[in-house]
Amino acid sequence: MMHELMKNWRIQAGMTQAELADKLFMTPQAISLMENGKRTIQYNVFEKIAAIFEKEIIFYTCDRPYLKPLNEELLQREVIPEFTEKIGLIHLDEEDVRHVFSSGPGYFAKSQNIIFEEALENLFLRFKEEHTHLSKASSILIQFEGPNNSSFEHLDSTSEELYKYISKEANVIIGCRINDTESHGFTLRLMAAGY
């Protein structure tokens, strides 16, 4: 997450919180709050921090979300392995994936970003851009994956946002997993079928 990156970059550069605060025209207390995750780091501030430490921010945020039409080959090669890896909190299994796939034509989308809200927003925006509106799908499978400091609030946000886009009659399966090997970044996977 951004606060961890910020702290790691500062320490690696041998810079104190006061020195970083001077460069950002902030107080050392503000830097401390951001590094401890007690104050949100605005994206424009994060860009300035990355520039100070000469970090390429695109490396820490991920590419534009992708959306692919569902077929058996994609299901076997990518979708089932990604949804069913047994890490985290609420596991999904192959039966869940097959159930959604069996409801008719559909799409698989994936969004990654260091900022949770952006990963979520970009995922739904991708469906809208391709005119594959989620409100037309009869079955939805969504999985949120985050670092080990993720919380059920992220899962709640994922489901709350999803329900703004889908039909009230849609069959929905939600999964959540925590990836202990990742120290930052979020991944959202969404399978929508039955168009």
75-107 pLDDT tens trace: 999 999 988 886 656 678 899 899 999 999 999
So what's the pLDDT on residue 151? 77
pLDDT class for 181, splitting at 50, 70, 90?
low
Both 102 and 9 in one domain: the answer is no
Both 38 and 15 in one domain: the answer is yes
The pTM is what?
0.66
For residue 167, pLDDT beyond 60: yes
Domain containing residue 50: 2-59
Q: What is the mean pLDDT of the chain?
A: 86
Phi, psi of 142 (to 5 degrees): -130, 140
Could you report the per-residue pLDDT of 34-72, keeping only the tens digit for each? 998 888 888 788 889 989 998 866 545 555 678 999 999
So what's the pLDDT on residue 147? 80
Phi, psi of 112 (to 5 degrees): -130, 140
Both 72 and 100 in one domain: the answer is yes
CA distance 71 to 64: 22
Both 70 and 48 in one domain: the answer is no
Both 167 and 145 in one domain: the answer is yes
Strand partners, 190: 109, 142
pLDDT class for 8, splitting at 50, 70, 90?
confident
Residues 6+ apart with CB under 8 A from 40: none
What does the DSSP 8-state code read for residue 169?
Answer: T
So what's the pLDDT on residue 41? 85
So what's the pLDDT on residue 62? 52
